[in-house]
Structure 1
Amino acid sequence: MLTRVLPKRTAVALSVAVIWALSLFAAQGYAQVTGATLSGTITDPSGAVIPNAQVSVRNTATGVTREVTADTAGFYSVPNLLPGNYEVTVMSPGFSTARQSNVELGVGAQQQLNISLKVGQTSQTVEVTEAAPQIQLTSSTLSAEVESTTVRELPLNGRDWASLATLSPGVNAIETQLPFEAGAVRGNRGFGAQLTIAGGRPTQNNYRLDGLSINDYGNGGPGSVLGVSLGVDAIQEFSVLTGNYSAEYGRTSGGVVNAISKSGTNAFHGDVYEFLRNDKLDANDFLSNANNVPRPPYKRNQFGAAAGGPIIKDRTFIFGDYEGIRQSKGVSNPQSVPSDRARTGLLNFPKGPSTFPTGCVTVDPTDCQVAVNPAVATYLAALYPHATAPGAGPNQGSFTFPALQAVREDFFTVRVDHKISDKDSIFATYMYDKNPFTQPDSLNNISYLDQTNRDIAALEWTHTFTPALLNTARVGYNRNAVINYQPVAAINPAAADPSFGAFPLGDNPSTRISGGFSALNAGLNGGFSHHNWNSIQFYDDAFLTRGTHSLKFGFAVERMDYNFFQKYNPQGIWRFASLANFLLNKPKSLEGGGLLGRDTPRGLRQTIFAGYVQDDWRWRRNLTLNVGLRYEIATVLKDAQGQITNLASMTSPLPYCGTTDPNLTLTFGQPGCTGTAPYYSNPTKHNFEPRIGFSWDPRGDGKMAVRGGFAIFDVLPLPGYFYTQQGIQTPFFLVGTIAKPTAGIGVLASAPNSAYNQMIQPQAGCTSPVGSCVLTAGFMEPNPKRNYVEQWNLNVQRQITPSLTATLGYVGSHGVHMLIRGDDADMVIPTQTSAGWLWPYNPTGADMRINRDFGTIRYMFFNTDSSYNALQVNVQKRMSHGFQFGGSYSYSKSIDNDDATIAGDAFGNSITSWFWFAPSISHAVSDFNVTHSVAINGLWDVPGPKSLHGPAGTLLNGWELGSILKLNNGIPTTPLIGGDPMNVENNGSDTFGIPDRVAGCDPVNHNYKSNPGLGYINTSCFRVPMATPAIASQCVPFSAVPGSCSNLLGNAGRNSIVGPGLVNLDFSVYKNFAVRKISESSSVQFRAEFFNILNHANFGPPLPFFGSSQAQIFNQDGTSSGAGGLQFMVTQPRDIQFALKFIW
């Protein structure tokens, strides 16, 4: 027999074609989206199956009915049901009719409902009103449902429905997500609130609304500038899939937040509301009280209306919602500035003269005097505010002012559902959200504008070929248009003064001083960015029932256009290694973008193609096997103008480019590219993703399920990950960095000896024909490996009472070839010694970086791993007897080498990793790791004396209570040495060293609230690295610490300190007043909501680089910085919100 072996590439293509072809003929309704599936077995009183029974499933709100016939094994399945309440009727000759009401189906649920018929006449009906069991007997997916009552009635800070995802086990908010006050870095990563789900990075999650992916341009959660997702009254309900979801779900390797918009019903219902906040109702925060800063002003009005009803009864329905926000809020964020003594050059060093920096003349045993450069003195006086309170360090002061944020947001959505016939139905949704936001910078010099415009549209058509075959086709559009941190006015006239300029545009550069000082932002002509994201999506899903097999097939196509433009530091960034160097006007470097006008926009393009097959096989009546396979490929990223550039290796003198333009030259007059080539070889060509699981009912009574599974999910290299990588690369965008310029502050760009002119002139020793060693290039692995996540779980779910269920399970995952990225890989490479990683002794100051043809090389490698292991507990009590309860607990550990996806520092507690040469150096718990996490919520309709009428009945009846309690043990941070003590010589935005940890010492001051400066880090547990005999001859001591080794990496390690824990209780009291004169269902509801009702001061950990950089506990010279304190809060102080709603 002759056998022909197909070439590997042909075999892959054939496999994809087969899956695609199958999807055109059959497949499930809507699992990848929002529709629910109801299935089960019809039996007689003895337990024998009843074949060919007629099953009718009616939506009680819309009257829409679906009818199917059970097969010869008594099995029935009804897919693609709109989430909501249903009534199920079963008929068979010789048996009484059974009618089961109160069947609640959630988003994407696969619910089993077995029905037993009694012998009798079909004209006799047996009514069952007890709620159907909620045990997941047919699916191994780990999920949690947030139904409409929970969305509508729990106290929601900001009325952000997506925040309720954190009530699920394994789901945590990123408490150190960069705040809006952090400037452009928030918008560059996306404004939506970030979640980690089952140990995944926030950019690994997928958010879906009515079947569409609605992630933003950074592949983060959707949200306005405020970071919230409005539309509480427009969301019917949503589910959170945290693991082992089936093959119909793609584009994600983390979790899936799957929501469905509310539709109209046969009754006209709606509400009108206003929510009010005012600073007179709120508490002041801990830090403001400590610094005698009054409570900042705050006014917020959140108002709107929602209504829905029939256009044609039982056939056409409409629902619409509008919500507006008008907010003016004062924000007090302490910033670290030079103290008044330090501004005069009088510096304090408690350890004495041995720690005095070079150029500082001894005044007394702990003080020395620096001769402040006159240009710096003028700069300080004009742009750095004086301290309003003492600071954490001896030369620091704390500056606080009531920054006023002005916000206007308008949101609306509309949905129309239409039943064309018994076999065809369609629905369409549209959502719009616009949100301008203005605020001053951290030092009150410049006013900035952020703005988000979002549009989402979806159209879906469902066709039933036969009761066993159904198909759904869906097309959608997701658009984001964002203005990110654009300067609009100079609050301080000095911020528009061209005499402070270092670049041709004038105005002051941004200024960064190592040692725990807050950054000074650039002036009025400073940088900003615009992001325009367009995603066009098409899906086809189908469902076919064949015997005990529920087969699903489908395909998806998504076209992504990401257009962005940025003014990257057009004024430049001064970096100083210490306060003394700043006062002496000795910059470490000057970096700036758009040199000589080269700042062209980018238009990234990519398409995702996917196909899947899934079989939920009911192997036995009490055992279902879930077996699926998904194939998903993303095309290689391109730029619409061919302006992709990349280095072929870390040492390449020129990049290769995506354009064939023969006129492409650098402004310096030399060729800019070595040739043309695709950006990278496609790592997604072999993205076959198996999904395997089971659900077993050991007792066969529908009250217990043992479930488990294994799955592979791919992490696609999506356009948003390349924003900071491609946006500023030579030769299409010229960004330069000049190290140790001989001219500093006060020398205008037009001066022949200015740092700017030093930057743009050809540099001696450059081997590249580019002609300058200062430009920024990018290195993305030309042949990246496939990036994917393996996930597994085993859990037991048990129904304790008809309304109470509990789940206990283990969840694990392993990330393979995870992305590691940073701001600059062009650095001096160390050697590994018996004492640790040692950077070379360089007494001559020679340039020892690996590529001297560039000033900075931004990099992306796919060469690290991650792991997650968790014990998860979930208890849910459905509403019964007026009470609803939910509780979750996770005991987990997430480990990785890096968490950066879009930029080197993903979160406020992140450090930019330049350990690309040995990722194991940063192997530690993740930046978002939370070991213990608890979330408890409850709703209670307080019982009242129903027999009472009149004023007494009005007063005592109609009360509701609600609450959400969240607890966790804190998130980690990394102790640092400021500056560049090891002489790494990279030009990333953040440079640092790592100290040594003293063995057996507790690194946390647990009585931190009584410590000066809220000192949280026990700095006595750390020291600068010390020389050992084996390396002493190669060590450069810290100037203030004899016998030390400044060029040795310490052993303290990444994320070796866990920050303070979280305790937050939100509470609500509602009073409902019936308004019978209008209608039986009309009422007025008064709400009082208390966020952080205990007014608990929930601090984040000391941050490495944001705010006052409190994790930098040592200065570059080895002296103590006085840092280590707590400077920011992860929750607001107690806020009180009142609301009034009219409901009909």
Structure 2
Amino acid sequence: MSIDKNEKAFVNLPSNVTGSSSYAQFPAASPTSRPFSDLASSLTSYLNRMGTPAASPSGDTMLSGNTTSPRKQWSLRSLLALIALAVMFTGTVFAQTTTGSIFGTVTDQSDGVIGRSTITATDMKTGISRTTQSNDSGNYSFPSVPAGDYTVSAQAQGFGTETQKGLHVDVNQSANATFRLSIGSTTESVTVTSGSTLVDTRESQLGETVDQKRIEDLPLNGRDVYSLVQLIPGVTSYSAQSAGGNQYGTTFSVNGTRTNQDSFYLDGAFDTSLFITGGNLIPNPDALQEFRLLTNNFDAEYGRFPGGVVNVITRSGGNAFHGSVYDYFRNSALNLKNYFNTTITPLKQNQFGATIGGPILHDKAFFFGSYEGLRIVTPTIIASNSLITPTPAEARGDFSALSPSQQPMISPGVPYSCNGVQGVICPNLLDPVSQNILKSVPLADPNTGLTPQQSASGNTTANQYLARIDYQLGSKHQLSGTFFQSRSNNTNPNQGGNQILSYSGGMSTDNQTNIAISDVWTISANKLNTFRPFYTLNHLNLTNLYSGNTWSDLGSQVGLGALPATQPQIAINGYWTMGMGSGGPDDLHQQSFGAEDTFDWSLGNHSVKFGGSYFWNRYAEQGEYLGTGEATFTGFATGNALSDFLLGRANTFRQNNGASHSLHNPAPALFAQDDWRITHRLTLDLGVRWEVFAPFVGQKNFGTFVPFEQSTRFPSAPLGLLTVGDPGVPDGIVKTQWKAFSPRVGFAYDVFGSGLTSLRGGYGIFYASRAVSLTTNPEQQPFILDNTIGDTPNLVTPYGPNGDPFPYVVNLQNPTFHSGGTLSGIPPNASSPYVQEYNLTLEQQFGQAWGLRVAYVGSLSRKFYVSRDENEPAYVPGASVSTDGLNARRPYQPTPSSYVFGAIVENDPAGNATYNALQATLTRRFTHGFSLLASYVWSKSIDITSVDPSNITLTLSNQNDISADRARSDYDVPQRFVASYLWSTPTVHRYGIIGKDILSNWQLNGITTLSTGSPFTITSGVDSNLDSVLTDRPNTVGNPLLDGGRSRTAKIHQFFNTTAFAQVPANVPYGNTRRNSLVGPGTINTDFSAFKNIPVFKESFLQFRAEFFNLFNNVNLTNPNGTLTSPLFGQISGSANARIIQFALKYNF
């Protein structure tokens, strides 16, 4: 590979491009910050300084992302100011709705429309009423009503009154109440079957509501409400938050989008983690009304993320007092042991709490509150017997018991030997640091080869609090406010994937605060405005569980890159990993605050909605990161990763001087949506959304690489290394994207005019925000040194004769640039990723209770980020993978010649993906004591890589051929069936007391899941292309598939045909095996619960609950080991949880 001067590597802008700096200075994030009191003054200061150069500490002028003329700068600044002022003072912008809508048509008995009729909707819980009128076409709508049950009545002059009771409204859904009035003064009352709308004849978007009954009654492991998103078609790869904690949030894939592309809202307020954009914590199940997940072609009021939109609604008070007191109890004595463990993990867990809601002023003001505590005491087993550690002989360098092909080699075909014994490394060659590290590692039994099982206390203490107030202010304003807070403390011996108990571990303190306020203003019968300010804070403090095992303690001379000193991160491919992980101790704050608003206008047959939002996101972090260093052993030196470790020959050793961030970005948006009811049967959805995607800015140490450009900020920098402040390099690296327009179009057709059959479809474009984890990567010298070397001579002095660059001293006046460091960046002209989504859906209602939906769902993802090394070493057979050997083969080397570039990692917006699926959903309303929600998905998801780049990690097998990694997505599950069901047993009137008190008042609930497996990749475990990036794949030389009817034991010992893969021949850099070419074991699981309700008095009852997770104790195996050089290649060493039992006692009143 070579780079010419005219070839674009990152960006190649003229050196005379100039701009101005814009920095909004905010106080450091803390739990006591007062964002709303500071917002106006800080924003004003920020806007006033746009266009004013700001000096860096070294005295040079910084650049903003705006490189246009001063007049255009002022125009853009004015636009931002206009949006901000509109949000703060007049409320003309977008709100993530917490409501649903009621619509319908009023006709006479001959189906003639009745205009100017009066329709009243009354909330059955609070008694609050709303009134509107039908238009000349007989149509009416209540565009924004809180989710719940309603009584709706219609009356017109000369006609009688008709009332429908029990109409259920879900969030983000429209409920249809159609009236046929009779002439005269008669009054009719119709009781509507309560439940979600079975057939949608109004909207083109796809989604599903999980109501309060399912949230409260379905078995939830850990009472994790978000886990219920897996009931909804299109959801795969669910990853839950840690119990009581919220380090990175809940993530999952929706219809083939990446797992960090979902947005989460709590009572309409933004509740999404900034770091990897996952869902923050939400209140306990007893405090929730419902949640709705939108999965495809949602309206223009939603944006910033193209995946799912999760809207969680808390419960509110009513005119009657209601509440609960509960305690959920789990103990290891009730559980079964994991298939691969020899003992049951000890556990004591209690989740306890209470809720209460009721009136403050009848029909006017209401309150609701809840508390939940979580206590977990468990010696957490962090490594099973299947973990491979050395035997005592191997720890001494004796591998003579292995077959000759597995013994360590001095060179190909020449094994180590000592005193004439082949396969033995002489003691004087063993690295003393490695020997000291092994003192913490439990050695395997020489007879069985099994590693002793380890355990350690993993305690959790967590508390969460919720308070909500609703207030009807006159007839025009409905106010509500929600306050939610969660605090937790956790000890985690497995922090960062640590598998050696006595070596490392982590302790975390995790705090979260949410504030959401809303004002629903009924301007007139056909105009409604909703204004909603919000504030969300996350604070994570992660510290080290142990104080020893530092480099100094282990006998190494490695200098510290950052404090505090922690245990080195050690990864031995095919064996074990030890250390806190690359993050290390960390102190992190995430804040989002701003305001949102929507204006609804019923204009004839048009339901118009428009508005926008202004968010302000802040991210602050101080972390050790890789300040201690990470050594990875692959077997490159001896053919065996363990013997490489014993010799101190790390394939790569990476270290830097820690992470320090203080970043912020604005996020304004505007939208317009028109739901045009062309006829009584046909509705057309038209929408457009405009968003501004600004990078996270606020610190001046970002940099990038532009071939043959010389830094003007640091003239001594090597040619090509530019930082913020150089021409064409804006603060935040990526330029602000101002032209992100997202059209949305769809239709809904009531096929027969009966409301029982609908045909719906739609298309839309959805842009994706960049996660902070992507933005924080491009920190460069001279601010930070991220150093990676290859082929360490030993672990005492791994840097060898080149010298240890740490501790690294930042000197901006006379900076020093160290050779060999890893550079990273994002092309400044990179636009935001986007997804095109589309669906065609047929729905049919059967009888009064059953509904069937069959949909084709598809998407095309474009411009998602992929990490690639633009300076990949050229392949030269037999070349050295030492640092000097690697860098000598890299194509781009700058001047001065004394400086040598290492890897140049570009986050390239070149990732594309496709998703196509058939999705079917069968629903039964809760009638006659039974309810069902079942879905089946047949799908295929294809991409180049399935995750956003993080920690400058390279994942491509061939850095120069992205297409070589195009394959099935990591979260591709071709077939998946999920059914949830609730059954209340009928009252038994026979057998006297036995029938009434024992056999009656039971409820049985469950979730059954059947799915095919997820794909996995076969890797070679060696560096065949000699680039030190261990993503190499072998050759496929046979059929890897074995008979699927074999026994479980046979599959565990050999899941696929291991002889079908072979290392590539000498002098061949790349194998022909494709990424994700094999599929792992499928899943069969049933979670089940049984309740006994014991009436106490009036409407209160005592409930005894027994919940069984994995009721039938199915052994759901994990994917097998796919590393060709691993002793466990082709074997399965793990499985999901065995059966877990949880009991609960709950009092409802």
Shorter chain as normaliser: what TM range?
Answer: 0.7 to 0.9
Q: 1:1085 aligns with which of 1103, 1106, 1115?
A: 1103
* Distance across 1 between alignment mates of 2:184 and 2:947: 66
* Distance across 1 between alignment mates of 2:134 and 2:842: 29
SS in 1 for 2:416: strand
SS in 2 for 1:583: helix
* Distance across 2 between alignment mates of 1:389 and 1:154: 47
* Distance across 1 between alignment mates of 2:147 and 2:403: 67
Shift of 1:402: 2.2
* Distance across 1 between alignment mates of 2:185 and 2:478: 34
1:1142 counterpart residue number: 1147
Instruction: Give the AA of the match of 1:1017.
Output: F
Shift of 1:171: 1.1
Contact 2:126 2:318 in 1 (8 A): yes
* Distance across 2 between alignment mates of 1:673 and 1:550: 47
Q: 1:303 aligns with which of 347, 352, 358?
A: 352
Shift of 1:730: 2.6
2:782 counterpart residue number: 731
Shift of 1:859: 2.8
1:952–1:342 Cα change, 3 Å: same
* Distance across 1 between alignment mates of 2:600 and 2:693: 26
Shift of 1:573: 2.0
* 2:968 pairs with 1:968: no
Q: 2:740 aligns with which of 684, 687, 703?
A: 687
Please identify, of 103-112 and 846-855, the stretch whose mean Cα deviation from structure 2 is larger: 846-855
1:949–1:732 Cα change, 3 Å: farther
1:994 counterpart residue number: 1033
The aligned runs of 1:780-819 (5 Å cut-off) are 780-819=826-865
* 2:1063 pairs with 1:1024: yes
1:761–1:543 Cα change, 3 Å: closer
1:1128 counterpart residue number: 1134
2:656 counterpart residue number: 593
* Distance across 2 between alignment mates of 1:411 and 1:788: 36
* 2:1116 pairs with 1:1095: no
1:338 counterpart residue number: 390
SS in 2 for 1:287: coil
* Distance across 2 between alignment mates of 1:593 and 1:354: 34
Contact 1:962 1:1069 in 2 (8 A): yes
SS in 1 for 2:737: coil
Contact 2:92 2:597 in 1 (8 A): no
Instruction: Give the AA of the match of 2:143.
Output: P
Shift of 1:27: 11
Q: 2:555 aligns with which of 495, 499, 504?
A: 499
Structure 1: 5+ residue runs without aligned partners? 1-6, 763-767, 831-837, 1027-1036, 1038-1044, 1103-1109, 1116-1120
Equivalences, count: 1040
The aligned runs of 1:62-73 (5 Å cut-off) are 62-73=126-137
Contact 2:102 2:143 in 1 (8 A): yes
1:111–1:179 Cα change, 3 Å: closer
Q: 2:1074 aligns with which of 1034, 1044, 1053?
A: 1053
Instruction: Give the AA of the match of 1:886.
Output: L
2:873 counterpart residue number: 828
* Distance across 2 between alignment mates of 1:308 and 1:137: 35
1:369 counterpart residue number: 424
Instruction: Give the AA of the match of 2:1023.
Output: D
* 2:1088 pairs with 1:1067: yes
The aligned runs of 1:511-590 (5 Å cut-off) are 512=570, 514-521=572-579, 527-578=584-635, 579-590=642-653
* Distance across 1 between alignment mates of 2:425 and 2:971: 42
1:1040 counterpart residue number: none
1:1111 counterpart residue number: 1122
1:577–1:27 Cα change, 3 Å: closer
2:913 counterpart residue number: 866
Q: 1:643 aligns with which of 701, 716, 724?
A: 701
Q: 1:618 aligns with which of 670, 677, 681?
A: 677
Once the two structures are superposed, residues 153-187 of structure 1 have per-residue CA deviations (whole angstroms, 9 ceiling, x without a partner) of 11111111111111011112336x89899xxxx98
Shift of 1:925: 0.7
1:1107 counterpart residue number: none
Structure 2: 5+ residue runs without aligned partners? 1-70, 636-641, 894-899
Instruction: Give the AA of the match of 1:601.
Output: S
Once the two structures are superposed, residues 845-892 of structure 1 have per-residue CA deviations (whole angstroms, 9 ceiling, x without a partner) of 462124453444343110121100000000110100000111001101
* Distance across 2 between alignment mates of 1:665 and 1:588: 31
Q: 1:774 aligns with which of 794, 805, 820?
A: 820
* Distance across 2 between alignment mates of 1:474 and 1:460: 4
Contact 1:503 1:572 in 2 (8 A): no
1:927 counterpart residue number: 970
* Distance across 2 between alignment mates of 1:863 and 1:143: 29
* Distance across 1 between alignment mates of 2:541 and 2:892: 35
Once the two structures are superposed, residues 724-754 of structure 1 have per-residue CA deviations (whole angstroms, 9 ceiling, x without a partner) of x14x543222222233344x224599xxx67
* Distance across 1 between alignment mates of 2:998 and 2:191: 36
2:530 counterpart residue number: 472
Shift of 1:904: 6.5
Shift of 1:528: 2.0
Once the two structures are superposed, residues 777-823 of structure 1 have per-residue CA deviations (whole angstroms, 9 ceiling, x without a partner) of 2121121134210011001011112111010010010011111126x
Contact 1:324 1:409 in 2 (8 A): yes
1:501–1:887 Cα change, 3 Å: farther
SS in 2 for 1:40: strand
Once the two structures are superposed, residues 435-464 of structure 1 have per-residue CA deviations (whole angstroms, 9 ceiling, x without a partner) of 221022420122311232111101111111
Identity %: 27
SS in 2 for 1:342: helix
1:522–1:265 Cα change, 3 Å: closer
Q: TM-score, normalised by structure 1?
A: 0.85
User: Root-mean-square deviation (CA), in Å?
Assistant: 3.6
1:927–1:79 Cα change, 3 Å: same
* Distance across 1 between alignment mates of 2:1107 and 2:538: 32
Contact 2:98 2:313 in 1 (8 A): yes
Shift of 1:403: 3.4
Contact 1:1072 1:1083 in 2 (8 A): yes
Once the two structures are superposed, residues 603-632 of structure 1 have per-residue CA deviations (whole angstroms, 9 ceiling, x without a partner) of 111111110100000001100000000001
2:1002 counterpart residue number: 959
Contact 1:497 1:508 in 2 (8 A): no
Once the two structures are superposed, residues 463-513 of structure 1 have per-residue CA deviations (whole angstroms, 9 ceiling, x without a partner) of 1111000101100011111124x21325x7789835356334797853545
SS in 1 for 2:439: helix
Contact 1:487 1:526 in 2 (8 A): no
2:944 counterpart residue number: 897
Contact 2:94 2:671 in 1 (8 A): no
Contact 2:93 2:670 in 1 (8 A): no
* Distance across 2 between alignment mates of 1:456 and 1:250: 21
Shift of 1:119: 2.3
* 2:1026 pairs with 1:983: yes
* Distance across 2 between alignment mates of 1:1054 and 1:805: 40
1:320 counterpart residue number: 369
Instruction: Give the AA of the match of 1:218.
Output: F
Contact 1:307 1:319 in 2 (8 A): yes
SS in 1 for 2:435: helix
1:501–1:115 Cα change, 3 Å: farther
Q: TM-score, normalised by structure 2?
A: 0.84
Instruction: Give the AA of the match of 2:818.
Output: S
Contact 2:973 2:1011 in 1 (8 A): yes
Instruction: Give the AA of the match of 1:541.
Output: T
SS in 2 for 1:620: coil
